[in-house]
Amino acid sequence: MFGLGPTELIIIAIIVLLIFGAKRLPDIGKGLGGAIKEFRNIKQDLSSDTSPDSKDEKVDKTEANDASPSLETKITNKVLEQVPGVKKVMDVKKKTDTVKNLLK
């Protein structure tokens, strides 16, 4: 596993436990698991969208994809919903950006 032995993995686990604490680890795991599940769902949606039967359907789906949010936007929204703490950080960043714009 990436050239890491059991000793290195134990040390990494201890450091993660110290940084996040025992109470937050299940929430982080749940959020990451949900994000991975959403990545798989989006991947399946994209793979089903890219195999049309005729050229006319391909044009229609391209136009529909232009109207829908991009893949990056979908992934970003799902990560913000699933991973605890990320939404708060993004909200703070938006607020600081608005303050910077007001001060200019």
Residue ranges per structural domain of the chain: 24-86
Looking at residue 68, its pLDDT comes to 62
Segment (H or E) for 28: helix 25-49
Q: If the chain, 104 residues long, is cut into consecutive pieces of 10 residues, what is the mean pLDDT of each piece? A: 82 89 86 86 77 49 55 75 74 88 87
Question: What is d(CA 41, CA 34) in angstroms, rounded to the nearest whole number?
Answer: 10
Whether this model's pTM surpasses 0.75 = no
